[in-house]
Amino acid sequence: MVKGLYTAYTGMINEQNRMDILTNNLANSATTGFKKEGATSEAFSDVLAYRIKDTSEANIPKALGYMNMGVKIGENYTDYSQGAFQGTDNTFDLALAGDGFFNVEFTSKAGETKTMYTRDGNFTLTAAGQLVNKNGDFLLDTNGNHITLDPLIETRIERNGGIYQNGALVTTIQVSDFEDYNYLEKYGENYLQTVEGATEIASDATVRSGYLEASNVQVVSEMVEMISVTRAYETNQKIVQAMDSTLEVAVNQVGKI
């Protein structure tokens, strides 16, 4: 009976985790280049199968009370599928068609500088002629340098990332891709950073000037999923209430007999 309380409790925790992710997706549905997240869960039978095959722990019998018969929160994942393109007619609004990321020089509050990766191509040209994003971080070229242009001369950006002024190539935008996206993690501010083991490879993405990539969040799908999560949470909540009522009867009435 008490096991039912733990099972329902783990179900509620799992649905809460799913709800947190869904609300974050919805909050960023209008964020340029945002990639939605999802959550997985593991059933007790799956976890038990792994534990049985796990030879790193001695096969020592354990009391039944040690076992948790509920659901286990799995891993969160990021959906890197491409979002729709939105035309802006602004030369410095850039979108990537294909797999890859813009390289941006990010400076932390502690003054540390490192390269971050993003699909958000909402860049502007400063009065000093440098291409920056809305955070003031610099877009990098293939040499890892800031991109500096003459703000008084018309600029053309080709699909290979080449930036031209007066018909001459000034520099080329760096676009990076990675062999395994599992070695990328979200940092915040719509940035991704690499973790140990990340392998950078050449990107086949093309740069589209005058466009922005919208978030790949489908609002209707997320709302439907949110309704499903809410109902699942309420179901587990009702199970807890039913178990509580049964325990109350067992303690206060059955015990009197």
SS3 labels along 15-80: HHHHHHHHHHHHHCCCCCCCCCEEEEEECHHHHHHHHHHCCCCCCCCCCHHHCCCCCEEEEEEECC
Rounded-to-integer distance, Cα 60 and Cα 39, Å: 32
- Give the CA distances from residue 33 to residues 54, 62, 97, 117, in Å, rounded to whole numbers and listed in that order: 41, 49, 12, 11
Q: What is the DSSP letter of 118?
A: E
Average pLDDT over every residue of 163-181? 96
> Can you tell me the distance from the alpha carbon of 15 to that of 237, in angstroms, rounded to the nearest whole number?
11
Percent of the chain whose pLDDT exceeds 90: 68
Residues 6+ apart with CB under 8 A from 90: 210
Cα separation, 36 vs 14, whole angstroms: 18
Structure confidence at residue 48 as a pLDDT band (50, 70, 90): low
Quote the percentage of the chain above a pLDDT of 70: 87
Name the average pLDDT for the chain: 88
| 3-state secondary structure (DSSP) of residue 95 | strand
What is the pLDDT confidence band of residue 111, given thresholds at 50, 70 and 90?
confident
Give the phi and the psi of residue 240 in degrees, each rounded to 5: -60, -45
State the CB neighbour count (10 A cutoff) for residue 62.
8
Question: What pTM value is reported for the model?
Answer: 0.81
**∠64-70-72 over CA atoms, to 5°?**
115
pLDDT at residue 251, as a whole number: 76
194-220 pLDDT, tens per residue?
999 999 999 999 999 999 999 999 999
Q: How far apart are CA 190 and CA 186, in angstroms?
A: 7
Q: What is the dihedral of CA 38, 43, 47, 49, to 10 degrees?
A: -130
CA distances from 142 to 123, 195, 212 (A): 17, 21, 21
Closest to 125 in 3D by CA, of 94, 102, 95: 94
Which is more confident, 58 or 123? 123
Q: How many CA atoms lie within 13 A of 186 on its CB side?
A: 15
Is it the case that residue 177 has pLDDT exceeding 80?
Answer: yes
Weakest-pLDDT range from 35-39, 44-48, 139-143, 206-210: 44-48
Structure tokens at 86: 């939105």
Predicted local distance difference test score (pLDDT) of residue 64:
46
Beta-strand relationship, 175-178 and 200-202? antiparallel
DSSP 8-state class, residue 137:
P
